[in-house]
């Protein structure tokens, strides 16, 4: 290997102090990190040594509590503590250095990524008593999570790629004793080896493009449905008749979804009417200062959403208690509902109808939105600090649609 064992070492990052970020939207998240609670955490990230096929790709992340007290960290789907196949890591090509000391002209493009989008509310998650929604680390304790990234990335060239956290993953959400949530920064650094990243090596014989694509969400049991009756009867054939609009949904769940769909359509119709009139506080609260290009983006999203809730298909197999829903952006029209969705009201703040709008904006044929900020306070902060991202943030669209409390 051109790069020796130096690139195989675990690289650590101190989470008790922020470091400059190379990510374009990191500052919008830093705006929310008002305090870090005085915690001392360390992050180590290590990809597999060599990658021969993007359908067989893993990265291990280890969190170490170097502080003097226990920490309770939310398993945010966009963080290194969760195995959801969200956009947590970036792979950036590193130019090789020849004998003459000159760097090669390697592609400067990062590996392209296809990731799922998850609706999550940290405040709702923090209120749950379910131990599956957070990780507790005692002083000196660590936890390693192996991320299966198969099918997510397509690379542009062979050689070495630096592994970086995306901006959404640069912070861990720590639940304090009083129930508040501290945002603890997680900036990758190699100590004195500045500009050195954890590296993934791709040999010249490797396959660069995924052949399978994104085929699972990264959580055990999701996207796979085993009929309990079929399992009970063993090899006997069981014929299951279902409404093609619903998959793995009970009659009660179907009824709840059908109740929410008209509210979602009303939200979209109302949003379109508002956007075609005079824009005021309602718009600026959720999307920031008005600029024609940004306003047209939002208008386009809602125009594309018109009539879509009636075309969506719904899968109820996800039981994650802290998660509302998720989608594969390139796999229209299926929306997957999870545990938090069933506890939500049909309409109103963080509602079932709002969740349908939220997830709909993620589809590439509708809006291609991302999850830059979660919750009403996060969305409001994003509108002020980075309106360009505000108009591409799914929760911003949901809260604009729900309009609760009502704004003009």
Q: Which residues are catalytic?
A: 359
Phi-psi group of 180: left, alpha or beta (phi > 0 → left; psi -120 to 50 → alpha; rest → beta): beta
Please tell me whether the peptide bond between 79 and the residue prior to it is cis, using omega within 30 degrees of 0: no
Q: Which of 28, 200, 204 is nearest to 111 (CA)?
A: 200
394-402 vs 375-385: helix crossing angle, rounded to 10? 110
| Cβ pair 203, 50 in contact under 8 A | yes
Helix (H, G, I), strand (E, B) or coil at 175: strand
Two structure tokens written together for 57: 């790709």
β-strand partners of 184: 172
Two structure tokens written together for 232: 């009970």
**Cβ within 8 Å of residue 277, ≥6 positions away:** none
Two structure tokens written together for 14: 């101190």
Report how far apart, in Å, the C-alpha atoms of 127 and of each of 49, 79, 176, 254, 289 are: 40, 19, 12, 27, 33
Two structure tokens written together for 259: 């109740």
Helix (H, G, I), strand (E, B) or coil at 172: strand
d(CA 354, CA 318): 18
Report how far apart, in Å, the C-alpha atoms of 172 and of each of 81, 187, 337 are: 9, 11, 25
């Amino acid at each position: 290997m051109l790069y020796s064992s130096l690139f195989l070492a675990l690289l650590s990052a101190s989470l008790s102090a922020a470091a400059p970020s190379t990510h374009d939207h990191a500052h919008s998240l830093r705006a929310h990190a008002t305090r870090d609670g005085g915690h001392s955490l360390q992050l180590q990230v290590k990809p597999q040594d060599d990658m021969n096929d993007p359908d067989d790709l893993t990265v291990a992340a280890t969190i170490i509590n170097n502080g003097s007290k226990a920490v309770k960290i939310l398993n945010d789907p966009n963080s290194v503590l969760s195995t959801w196949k969200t956009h947590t890591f970036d792979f950036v090509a590193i130019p090789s250095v020849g004998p003459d000391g000159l760097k090669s002209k390697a592609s400067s493009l990062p590996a392209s990524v296809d990731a799922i989008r998850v609706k999550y509310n940290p405040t709702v998650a923090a209120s749950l008593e379910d131990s599956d929604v957070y990780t507790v680390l005692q002083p000196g304790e660590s936890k390693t999570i192996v991320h299966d990234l198969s099918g997510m990335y397509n690379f542009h060239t062979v050689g070495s790629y630096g592994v970086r956290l995306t901006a959404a993953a640069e912070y861990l959400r720590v639940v304090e004793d009083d129930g508040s949530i501290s945002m603890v920064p997680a900036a990758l650094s190699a100590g004195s080896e500045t500009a050195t990243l954890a590296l993934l090596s791709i040999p010249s014989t490797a396959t660069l493009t995924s052949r399978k694509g994104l085929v699972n969400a990264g959580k055990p049991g999701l996207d796979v449905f085993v009929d309990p009756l079929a399992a009970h009867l063993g090899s006997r054939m069981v014929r299951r008749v279902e409404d093609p609009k619903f998959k793995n949904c009970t009659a009660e769940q179907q009824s709840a979804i059908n109740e929410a769909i008209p509210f979602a359509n009303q939200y979209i119709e109302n949003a379109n009417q508002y956007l075609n009139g005079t824009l005021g506080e309602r718009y600026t609260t959720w999307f920031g200062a008005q600029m024609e290009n940004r306003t047209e983006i939002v208008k386009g999203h809602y125009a594309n959403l018109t009539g879509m809730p009636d075309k969506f298909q719904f899968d109820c197999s996800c039981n994650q208690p802290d998660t509302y829903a998720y989608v594969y952006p390139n796999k229209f029209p299926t929306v997957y509902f999870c545990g938090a969705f069933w506890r939500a009201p049909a309409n109103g703040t963080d509602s079932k109808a709002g969740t349908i709008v939220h997830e709909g904006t993620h589809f590439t044929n509708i809006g291609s939105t991302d999850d830059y900020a979660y919750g009403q306070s996060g969305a409001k902060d994003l509108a002020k600090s980075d309106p360009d991202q505000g108009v591409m943030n799914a929760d911003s669209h949901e809260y604009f649609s729900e309009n609760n409390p009502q704004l003009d």
